[in-house]
């Protein structure tokens, strides 16, 4: 039986991560567990456990003698993570081409189709949240790439691809403020479709080239922008000024 504390910890984790990725918690700002507990109207224990998980996953960092802070990457750090992603996902896509069954390929196609269907649903809602498209893109993009890694059946590879994908959610939120977000997301999913075609026809060289093109789009639209400082500084300013 799932404990109440476990449910509250999962809730706290999801909500705090949402606040980090949406910018509600500013990058580089101090994290106060008491403020989060008050904000989410739950006790400190699940907040502490959620913060520990977020720290392990790289979204919160501990600064010696200062406390907990929302992570803030420099441009160089993000480019290093993307370089690691290229290495890991190139290996993953090569293994996928060698091992993927027709059932696996059908599942990738269903992911693309499901994303497109939900995206069209958002376009028909007049009151849709302007950021909902980005959140949907992030969810399905990560699913697509992690599922490619799953074909390898390598526990380590799946874990590392998943961790890198989730860390790069910090960079992905640049789409929120990009006035070309619709075009960026359209280009990204056209690349997914082409990658799937290359996997289906077992064209390893083409698939790897498309993956590099896909990550170049991320660099162009989410990292190489006038946002990041070369040195990540952490502010004493807390995430919640009204607490």
Distances in Å between the alpha carbon of 22 and those of 26, 92, 140, 149, 230? Answer: 9, 29, 17, 27, 22
The predicted-structure confidence for 196-233, as pLDDT tens digits, reads as follows 999 999 999 999 999 999 999 888 877 765 555 555 56
Mean of the per-residue pLDDT values of the chain = 86
Q: Phi, psi (5° rounding) for residue 103?
A: -65, -40
Spatial separation of the C-alpha atoms in residues 200 and 217, rounded to whole Å: 23
Q: Both tokens of residue 4?
A: 């109440």
CATH of domain 4-70: 1.10.10.10
Q: How many CB atoms lie within 10 A of CB 100?
A: 20
- Is residue 2 over pLDDT 80? no
Q: Both tokens of residue 80?
A: 């290093």
Looking at domain 75-223, its CATH class is mainly alpha
The predicted-structure confidence for 22-44, as pLDDT tens digits, reads as follows 778 888 899 999 999 999 999 99
Domains 4-70 and 75-223 share a fold: no
Residues 57 and 160: beta-carbon distance below 8 Å: no
Distances in Å between the alpha carbon of 16 and those of 12, 82, 138? Answer: 6, 24, 17
User: Which run of H or of E encompasses 74?
Assistant: none
The predicted-structure confidence for 123-180, as pLDDT tens digits, reads as follows 666 545 557 788 888 889 999 999 999 999 999 999 999 989 888 877 676 665 566 7
Q: Give the pLDDT of residue 161.
A: 95
Q: Give the pLDDT of residue 229.
A: 55
Q: Give the pLDDT of residue 177.
A: 59
Q: Both tokens of residue 240?
A: 């919640």
pLDDT higher at 157 or 71: 157
Which of the residue ranges 1-5, 80-84, 159-163, 187-191 would you say has the lowest mean pLDDT?
1-5
Spatial separation of the C-alpha atoms in residues 60 and 51, rounded to whole Å: 7
- For the entire predicted model, the pTM comes to 0.78
pLDDT grade for 242, boundaries at 50, 70 and 90: very low
Angle between the 132-150 and 75-99 helix axes, to the nearest 10 degrees? Answer: 50
Residue 232 DSSP SS3 = coil
Q: What is the residue extent of each domain of the chain?
A: 4-70, 75-223
pLDDT higher at 221 or 236: 221
Spatial separation of the C-alpha atoms in residues 8 and 11, rounded to whole Å: 5
Q: Give the pLDDT of residue 33.
A: 94
């Amino acid at each position: 039986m799932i404990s109440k504390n476990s449910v509250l910890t999962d809730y706290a984790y999801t909500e705090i991560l949402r606040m980090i990725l949406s910018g509600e918690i500013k990058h580089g700002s101090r994290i106060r567990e008491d403020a989060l507990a008050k904000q989410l109207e739950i006790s400190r224990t699940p907040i502490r456990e959620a913060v520990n998980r977020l720290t392990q996953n790289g979204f919160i960092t501990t600064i010696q003698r200062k406390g907990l802070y929302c992570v803030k990457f420099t441009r160089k750090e993000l480019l290093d993570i993307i370089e690691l992603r290229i290495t890991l996902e190139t290996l993953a896509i090569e293994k996928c081409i060698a091992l993927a069954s027709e059932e696996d390929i059908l599942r990738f196609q269903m992911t693309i189709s499901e994303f497109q269907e939900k995206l069209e649903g958002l376009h028909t809602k007049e009151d849709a949240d302007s950021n909902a498209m980005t959140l949907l893109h992030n969810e399905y993009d990560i699913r697509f790439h992690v599922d490619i890694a799953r074909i390898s059946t390598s526990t380590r590879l799946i874990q590392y691809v998943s961790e890198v994908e989730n860390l790069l959610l910090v960079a992905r939120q640049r789409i929120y403020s990009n006035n070309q977000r619709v075009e960026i997301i359209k280009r990204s999913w056209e690349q997914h479709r082409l990658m799937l075609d290359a996997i289906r026809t077992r064209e390893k060289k083409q698939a790897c080239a498309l993956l590099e093109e896909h990550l170049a789009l991320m660099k162009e639209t989410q990292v190489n922008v006038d946002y990041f400082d070369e040195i990540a500084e952490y502010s004493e300013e807390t995430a919640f000024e009204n607490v």
